[in-house]
Amino acid sequence: MSAERRPSADTDAQEQIPETGIPLKKLFIKTYGCQMNVYDSQRMTDALTADGYELTDSADGADLVILNTCHIREKAAEKIYSELGRLKPLAEAKKRAGGKMTVGVAGCVAQAEGGEILRRQPMVDLVVGPQSYHRLPQMARDAASGAPAVETDFPLEDKFDHLPRERRVTGPTSFLTVQEGCDKFCAFCVVPYTRGAETSRPVAQVIEEAERLAAQGVVEISLLGQNVNAYHGVDPDGRETGLGALLRRLSRIDGVKRLRYTTSHPNDMDDELIAAHADIAEVMPYLHLPVQSGSDQVLQAMNRRHTAEAYVRLIEKIRTARPDIALSGDFIVGHPGETEEDFQQTLALVREVGYSQAYSFKYSPRPGTPAADREQVAEDEKTDRLARLQELLNAQQMAFQEACIGRTLKVLLEKPGRKPNQLVGRSPYLQAVHVEVDPSLSGTIVDVAIEAAGPNSLAGRLVETAT
């Protein structure tokens, strides 16, 4: 592989594995879906860079291209096949130049469809499910020498024990997956099938990873899990630890100034976690707590196992603990069985709760899930309900944004903005904030007086007397 001829453009820039003189192979990863896939792509990159690859920002000329896929809705899954079609001419060009572009499909489509992907698109060389990423370097070697490789088992060994411990850090914020999989089996959802049973990483493993991140300058850590607040990792004494206690432990790490977590299920929002919002300064006042629907009848059909009223009461409790908390959520419209009256109850719940921001989707039938076989709501009905829901959610978002004008917010400056001397950061409520400052302040938390608000970002000026 290393001896292939390359297009002249990247020959000069080619770096080498120290002391061996072997050129680094080029790796391109495209990530779809949720933040857990973003984290997984970083870990795949870590594993492959330890094996002679360097990350590149284009598939053109790459030796290994990985699509890290999402299966949550039909459109997400279908995107992969059109992307593979677009890769074909690049793979052929690479072949004409005497090389080989190895093409891999990872993530939830890989887990759901397995070897079927190779039959549908023979240009694919390897298919790897989310629990097997530690095996990727070996699989890539096998595939590059012409043997298609498929790994979609849930292996007995823990991938985290086999992935490199050192992570490449790219800024002051980082994701950290603490929990994977789901046992809830909501009637619409593929996650329990693509990510498997719910598991939690041991406390010591999480702390070690967080400490390494902090030592590299990470200031904000977002804990991830498909059901992150179901976290129950064992501590070194063998005791189960909930997410609230884990946050408390992480907040004591030197350098960690902000903690977030996503995504949570209402039924796992225990008192210890709610208390963490009240009394751990590092835990940010933002919570993504999907409810999906405001109708008890639909919640039951979805197998969510709580009522709309229980959710609203839970929100009240959380707001009592942390009055300024910004709430986010997910909604599905047109789930099988949803009537106009049910949908009206969703609108009523949204009005009662008041979200700072939320995601909403048309129900998409997923093969193998219970709701897919039920009588479906008409497409135009779904379109109409989604538009009405989004109008309300957008208005709430705008109201929340505008209410920030005149306030001074603590902003973690993360990266350059579009204008010179402008940085973009995040408020405690996860809003993007643009501010003109000395770029050397990147990675620090500063006070910003908010002067303007758009639907998706705020703008303000640095308050000199930052505390």
Choose which of 227, 346, 401, 427 interacts with ligand SAH (CB under 6 A): 227
Q: Which amino acid is at 83?
A: E
Applying the rule CB under 6 A, the residues between 205 and 234 that interact with ligand SF4 are 226-227
Residue 194 or 345 with smaller CB distance to ligand F3S: 194
Please give the Cα distance from 23 to 417 (Å, whole number): 34
DSSP labels, 282-337: TB-SEEE---B-S-HHHHHHTT--S-HHHHHHHHHHHHHHSTT-EEEEEEEES-TT
Choose which of 184, 362, 374, 415 interacts with ligand SF4 (CB under 6 A): 184
Q: Dihedral, CA atoms, 248, 457, 399, 325, nearest 10 degrees?
A: 0
Q: How many CB atoms lie within 10 A of CB 2?
A: 15
Residue 64 or 77 with smaller CB distance to ligand SF4: 77
From the list ligand SAH, ligand F3S, ligand SF4, none, partner contacted by residue 33 (C-beta under 5 to 8 A by kind): ligand F3S
Per CB under 6 A, 72 contacts ligand SAH? yes
Nearest to 370 by CA among 108, 183, 188, 196: 188
The length of the chain is 467
Per CB under 6 A, 39 contacts ligand SAH? no
Its sign, for the CA torsion 70, 75, 77, 80, is negative
Q: Which stretch binds ligand SAH (CB under 6 A): 41-49, 186-194, 402-410, 411-419?
A: 186-194
Per CB under 6 A, 111 contacts ligand SF4? no
Residue 144 or 289 with smaller CB distance to ligand SAH: 289
Q: How many CB atoms lie within 10 A of CB 159?
A: 18
Q: Which residues bind ligand F3S (CB under 6 A)?
A: 33-34, 36-37, 70-72, 107-108, 190-191, 194-195, 226
What letters, b where the CB count within 10 A reaches 16 and e where it falls short, cover 428-467?
Answer: bbbbbbbbebeeebbbbbbbbebeebeeeebbbebeeeee
Q: Which stretch binds ligand SF4 (CB under 6 A): 56-64, 186-194, 307-315, 451-459?
A: 186-194
DSSP labels, 344-406: HHHHHHHHHH--SEEEEEE----TTSGGGGSPPPPHHHHHHHHHHHHHHHHHHHHHHHHTTTT
Per CB under 6 A, 261 contacts ligand SAH? no
Per CB under 6 A, 361 contacts ligand SAH? yes
Choose which of 66, 70, 110, 189 interacts with ligand SAH (CB under 6 A): 189
From the list ligand SF4, ligand F3S, ligand SAH, none, partner contacted by residue 192 (C-beta under 5 to 8 A by kind): ligand SF4
Per CB under 6 A, 186 contacts ligand SF4? yes
From the list ligand SF4, ligand SAH, ligand F3S, none, partner contacted by residue 332 (C-beta under 5 to 8 A by kind): ligand SAH
DSSP 8-state symbol, 24: P
DSSP labels, 186-241: -TT--HHHHT-S-EE--HHHHHHHHHHHHHTT--EEEEE-TTGGG--EEPTTS-EE
Choose which of 133, 188, 286, 429 interacts with ligand SAH (CB under 6 A): 188
Mask for 237-266, x = binds ligand SF4 (CB under 6 A)? ----------------------------x-
Direct distance between the N- and C-terminal alpha carbons of the chain, in angstroms, rounded to an integer: 55
Please give the Cα distance from 115 to 100 (Å, whole number): 21
Choose which of 51, 268, 330, 447 interacts with ligand SAH (CB under 6 A): 330
Kindly state the number of chain residues that form the binding site for ligand SAH, as judged by CB under 6 A.
Answer: 17
Residues of this chain that bind ligand SAH (CB under 6 A):
72-73, 188-189, 191, 226-227, 263, 265, 290, 292, 330, 332, 361, 363-364, 366
Residues of this chain that bind ligand SF4 (CB under 6 A):
182, 184-186, 189, 191-192, 226-227, 265
